[in-house]
Amino acid sequence: MKFIIAIIKPFKLDEVREALSELGVAGMTVSEVKGFGRQKGQTEIYRGAEYTTNMLPKVKLEIAASDELAPRIIETIQQTASTEAIGDGKIFVIDLVSATRIRTGETGDPAL
Amino acid sequence: MKGNHMIRKMISGVVGTGLALATASTAFAQAAMIKAPTAAQQVAMTNKGDTTWMMVSSVLVLMMSVPGLALFYGGLVRTKNMLSVLMQVFMIVAVGGLLWATIGYSMAFTTGPTPGLTPFIGGFSKALMIGITGSSSAATFSNNVYIPELAYFVFQMTFAMITPALIVGSFAERIKFTPLMVFVVLWSILVYYPVAHMVWYWAGPDFLADTPNEAGLLNHWGALDFAGGTVVHINAGIAGMVGCLMIGKRVGFGRENTPPHSLTMTMIGASLLWVGWFGFNAGSNLEANGVTLVAFVNTMLATCAAAVSWAVVEQVVHNRPSMLGAASGAVAGLVAVTPASGYAAPMTSLVLGLIVSPICFFFVTTVKNKFKYDDTLDVFGVHCVGGITGALATAVLANPALGGQGVTDYTKFPSVVATGYSTLAQLTVQFEAVAITLVWSGVVSAILFFVIDKTLGLRPAEEAEREGLDITEHGERAYNY
């Protein structure tokens, strides 16, 4: 099993979610996050005060997937979330040791 | 100014007598002015139109403070200090009202405790509203036209409420509530009432001819301040600046980002100020007549022009016009036209609006950044600088040669338009009025801030300031999502 963490542009969330649903992804966790990478922040001016925001808002997706599905998920996110501009985000994958469904106690792939 | 109107009235009266017998009695009543009318005669000289307009104007000016100014300021601070600003404005209005009824009105609008003090301050003959009843009257700017004194009392009360509330913007996000309220009480007594008295107190058009010394100092000098450029905006603006310097910068000023938490609120507040300002400026004519409309339209055009010119300046300097800029411009225009509103012409008011925004913009950006003072909400840059611009411009705009209303000679009865208007002479008087207000308000405010800081302490602990004044001063949050 794999645990996929994707940081994407907020406005891409719906598109990515739809594409992943078609792929058969049954669930994911979404959070609004802030951070910085190579994309520069933006400048805001309020009367005489100029502020540079260096933390930009992004959306973080967390998806647990079977070993078979994981590569297709990664590919789908990459293709859907890309605008070919700086700041599109990143996808991280780590090995998932176990998964348990709380209601039934199932473990492993059936729990996903 | 009113003399123009008066002459037209009298001419039509004379024509009326000659032409038709049926209108003779009316015409006679208009022509035969009563000098120094008795209280009962004054009541007969009030009318429902003026009285209604003054009540409407009073609630409009109240609306400028709550919620107008409160939201305008509140939107510009950070979330954690929103309530502190709302509460400060709200309570200053309430306390200001109480103070006005107990001693304020009397100190501002009665003769001095001794004749020698009359140029500077009123006495206590009307303290606790003694003698102010439903059948006492207050003078307007026209001979033999009166309004109920309660209308004048409550209209002027709303001015005494908003002026100290303007000050808090200069040191928003870093002041303790109770010491601030102590400051407001003392400042009202020692600064606002004397300055209002010096600029606006006079015997009235039916009495001044007999008692020419019965007027505040600046009024006697002939300083023109139609609706409060010196009394309200310069007065509050310099007090704010002094407070901002003496209290010091906010924790993290210049290092941390302190963007406005809701420019939506600020836009709503600025719009309420704009609407309410018609009560402030047009209401200051104390009657509902043609000059009232001149002030009304002047206010409208100066504000439109200033909002546009601020946006244009931003477009040129920053390449993007901002909502905050447009709102700031509108307020700057309103401030600048305030002293001129009843004296200028619509097109010259428009020009004043176009000019004031670049001046204020220069102060809130270049000057403020150069000297690095933390005037949180730019009370100095907008109200004081805009007020000075307006006060000085009034001397130019009042000139009849530019379509202005000129000045009225009230030492004659009935009053007449003074001939030979001199812009330069008027400019000198305006300059003196501005200087006296700056010095008086500046020095007394400095003393008050110093004394209160040494006794009660003005500033919250650094930790409390970081936590936010909403929680530490008031025990609540503005938003619980």
Domain containing residue B355: CATH number: 1.10.3430.10
Contact pairs from chain A to chain B, CB under 8 Å: 25
Tens digit of pLDDT for each residue in A4-61? Answer: 999 999 999 999 999 999 999 989 999 999 998 887 778 889 988 888 888 889 999 9
Residue A93, strand partner residues: A4
**Is B22 part of a structural domain of the chain?**
no
Contact (CB<8Å) A51/B257: yes
Lowest mean pLDDT among B140-144, B164-168, B230-234, B417-421: B417-421
More confident residue, B5 or B224: B224
Mean pLDDT of B228-247: 97
**Is B19 part of a structural domain of the chain?**
no
Contact (CB<8Å) B368/A45: no
Cβ count within 10 A of residue B111: 19
Nearest-Cα distance to chain A for B323, in Å, is 9
Q: Which residues of A touch B369 (CB under 8 A)?
A: 48
Report CA-CA distances (Å) from B102 to A34, B166, B188: 55, 22, 12
More confident residue, A39 or B119: B119
Residue of B nearest to A51 (CA): B257
pLDDT at residue B27 in the model = 44
Residues from A contacting B (CB-CB < 8 Å) are 44-49, 51, 53
pLDDT at residue A55 in the model = 85
| Among candidate residues B138, B135, B116, B112, the one with its CA nearest the CA of residue B125 | B112
pLDDT at residue A54 in the model = 80
Domain count, chain B: 1
Mean pLDDT of B363-390: 96
Nearest-Cα distance to chain B for A44, in Å, is 9
pLDDT at residue B215 in the model = 97
pLDDT at residue B31 in the model = 61
pLDDT at residue A61 in the model = 97
Q: Which residues of B touch A41 (CB under 8 A)?
A: none
Nearest-Cα distance to chain A for B352, in Å, is 21
pLDDT at residue B30 in the model = 53
- Chain B interface disruption, residue of A34, A47, A51, A56, most B CBs within 10 A: A47
Give the domain ranges of chain A.
Answer: 2-111
Contact (CB<8Å) A46/B368: no
**Is B297 part of a structural domain of the chain?**
yes
**Is B27 part of a structural domain of the chain?**
no
Q: Which of A46, A51, A53 sits opposite B324 (nearest CB)?
A: A46
d(CA B299, CA B228): 13
| pLDDT for residue B23 is more than 50 | no
Contact (CB<8Å) A45/B318: yes
Residue of B nearest to A55 (CA): B257
Residue of A nearest to B365 (CA): A48
| pLDDT for residue B29 is more than 70 | no
| pLDDT for residue B291 is more than 90 | yes
| pLDDT for residue B3 is more than 70 | no
Using a CB–CB cutoff of 8 Å, tell me whether B260 touches chain A.
yes
| ipTM exceeding 0.85, yes/no | no
Q: Which residues of A touch B324 (CB under 8 A)?
A: 46-47
pLDDT at residue B481 in the model = 79
Lowest mean pLDDT among A48-52, B19-23, B191-195, B232-236: B19-23
Residue B147, strand partner residues: B138
Q: Which residues of A touch B260 (CB under 8 A)?
A: 46
Contact (CB<8Å) A47/B259: no
Domain range for residue B396?
33-474
pLDDT at residue A49 in the model = 87
Residue of A nearest to B362 (CA): A48
* Sheet strands side by side (includes A2-8): A29-35, A56-65, A2-8, A89-95
Q: Which residues of B touch A48 (CB under 8 A)?
A: 364-366, 368-369
A42 DSSP assignment: E
**Is B11 part of a structural domain of the chain?**
no
Q: Which of B257, B320, B365 sits opposite A47 (nearest CB)?
A: B365
Tens digit of pLDDT for each residue in A71-106? Answer: 999 999 999 999 999 999 999 999 999 999 999 999
Mean pLDDT of B374-382: 97
Tens digit of pLDDT for each residue in B465-477? Answer: 999 999 999 999 9
- Using 50, 70 and 90 to split pLDDT, how confident is the model at B32? confident
pLDDT at residue A52 in the model = 83
Q: Which of A47, A51, A53 sits opposite B324 (nearest CB)?
A: A47
Write down the pTM of the prediction.
Answer: 0.89
| pLDDT for residue B174 is more than 50 | yes
* Tokens at B401, concatenated: 């040669």
Mean per-residue pLDDT over chain B, rounded: 93
Architecture in CATH for domain A2-111: 2-Layer Sandwich (3.30)
Q: Which residues of B touch A47 (CB under 8 A)?
A: 324-325, 328, 364-365, 378
